[in-house]
Structure 1
Amino acid sequence: MASRPLFNAPAPNVPYFVPRQYPPAGTAFDPQPHGKPVPTLFRPLKIRGVEFQNRIFLAPLCQYSSENGVVSPWQLVHLGGIFTHGPGLTLTEATAVLPEGRISPEDAGIWTDEQATAWAQVVQFAHSQNQKIGIQLAHAGRKASTAAPWVAATGTVPFIAGGWPDEVLGPTDEPHQPDFPTPKALSKEGITRIVKGFVDAAKRSIRAGFDVIEIHGAHGFLISSFYAPASNTRTDEYGGSFENRIRLAIEVVDAVRAVIPPTTPLFFRLSATDWLKDEQGPRWRSEDSVRLSRVLAEHGVDFIDVSTGGLSAATQMSPLASGAGYQVPFAADIKAALGDKVFVGAVGGINEGKFAQSILDEGKADAVLVGRMFQKNPGFVWKLADDLDVELHQSSQIGWPFQGRAKKAAK
């Protein structure tokens, strides 16, 4: 009997050698070796033309590690260390669509071809590992020209330190908080420029090879500062009524959906509540997010990524807003209202496999997004699998010491 050729197959379509990964890391063995069914957390999820091997997604994590918007080897190492362990989807940090849309001078961007080329190298490596990667497109609005959080918790970065305090934009000239830059109220022409910035960034993202596009409409950045009544006191067609305040969000969604392939999933991250109290004036509530989500779904958004907060320094969060799953009820509200009309992601303090699985079992969301736990443990998918006694395929270089020849030798 002829022996099998000893051939370490290469990943296709890569200008360097890395071993082929099939199936991708993070895929559950089906059937499981112990005969138990695969839990929903580790079952594939298909959205438009993209299938994710499990329902654990990496949430965007700002890194403040780029120069002139161009990502560095840091992003390749940071993200690569995570997606080689197999989340169903890896989302990049908030990536600015225009230079003034950065949070800090060191934010990533995609308003130039040079920036897109740098991102393409990260995408290429993700695809060499048979992994899916998405980009979060963002404009920081009135929270721009500020510092990386380990440099200063608040405050304006001046021109001399690379900031742009006189070019910060918002729905009005009201700053996010007193020591932040005073924004310029966007004109209609300025809004048109913003929408075009998202469109051009989406086109570059598709050319760079990203599998998913996410629009950042949360955390008090530009889009959410328009839809939230506490920060938008305009009296034109972009202010006042609910329909007017969500106009920018819908214009961006429509414009981006029109220029990306019909097979590409479009995600939208929103802040489901601003955590303000009634006595603090007009506020954005969970029922408003349900209403917005319904409109977004009608305009081609496939996935609502449900976060909260970030709008105001006057925020008074619930005493429960620091525990496991504190934002999950807001995702559940949207899922209950929209059902199968849109996919919903829950995020916030999801740190254990049985808890993550319960979110899906109870119909509160279709996927979970995890951020800080991946910072602490890039192999967090594996940890969740261990919690549920699920056997996973791993990247060959990572998994081989735990099985096969090495496993036999250890006995």
Structure 2
Amino acid sequence: MIKYFDYAATTPCHEDVIKEMNKYWNENFGNPDSRSHEYGWKAEEAVENAKKIIATALKVEASEIYFTSGATEANNLAIKGFVNGISYNNKKIACLVTEHKCLIETLRDLNKTQQIPIDFIPVNSDGLINWEYFLNNIKEYSLVSIGYVNNETGVKQDISQIAKICRENNVKIHTDCAQAFGKIDINAREVDLLSISGHKIYGPKGIGVLFISKKPRVRIKAMMSGGGQQNNIRSGTIPTPLCVGMAKATEICLSKMNKNTSKFNDFQSFLIENLTKNDAFISINGSLEHKIPHILNLNIPYIEGESLIMRLKNFALSSGSACTSKSLEPSYVISAMHPEERELAHSSLRISFGIYTTFDDVKELLTALQKHIKELRELSPLWHMKKKNIDLQSIKWKK
């Protein structure tokens, strides 16, 4: 059986979540916007209860919760809805250069189609925001989008401090919490807009949430025309089973959050200690001090990350975001962290832990990693040159 270490890409639906959703496929199948009969009333009650559960987890009001098809739609709605709404003041829309592809492409699309001025905020080599650049440019921004936790490295930004600076400069702030929700404590009241996803927390695929603050109020324009559901912010029939499933997944994750964090800390420490004690070249991509232990991104020089993954046939792993895995390009996240050493992006490996990961699984992965790293290194001419103390940077390669 293949051992799964790609929980940052998606998670299996928890059995208790499935049980809860099953109540609303056939028996209680009503449309929550059908207000004239019991079927609709029951569905509406279930959706409103789901909103309350998620709102409580985010420390906000249920009326500020809007269901979407996932975090990608929530991110698009947040950014494009803001730009086309009355809160936008024609200044730049900015995000970190390491943000999820859906955010980066949203900004690029706005710039191309509507000539909206945009900016990509650089990060330091540890993946944390470049504070000097941010502070020097903050007055040029109308909205800043900063992911709470990076999906490739697990690096956690100081959203509280970033949000404080944004508020002081009358700049709205959005945060993508797809990788943070259910893993760390989040106070959505600190920001103006916030996105989360169901399938990252053992809930169903096809459901996400956008929090839109009322205190202070931020106004966004709907991006879809339709029946005016959800206060005309996001039209379309609300999928009751998916909403209920996401709420149940939220309860499960929050109840086990501290226990899981402790367990994943042990897994992370075990891998780092055993991989680096006899190999001085292996390092961690991103700040170890400011990250969640659920995601571990390793830099393993002198091998190709994809080659290593191909050899690890009994393990489900990735070299970056699942949304960019079809591309042959190296991770833009790692490249942005190390612009002078872009080759590091070719030798990176992302390991992500989940509730079904066991210590035995981690031990098996360690053994396999050590074996295949050694084999691939022996096949690498760069490795042999390094062992002979040849300065690879000084070599003039022929094109």
Do these two structures clear the TM 0.5 threshold for a shared fold by scoring above it? Answer: no
What TM-score results when the alignment is normalised by the length of structure 1?
Answer: 0.28
What TM-score results when the alignment is normalised by the length of structure 2?
Answer: 0.28
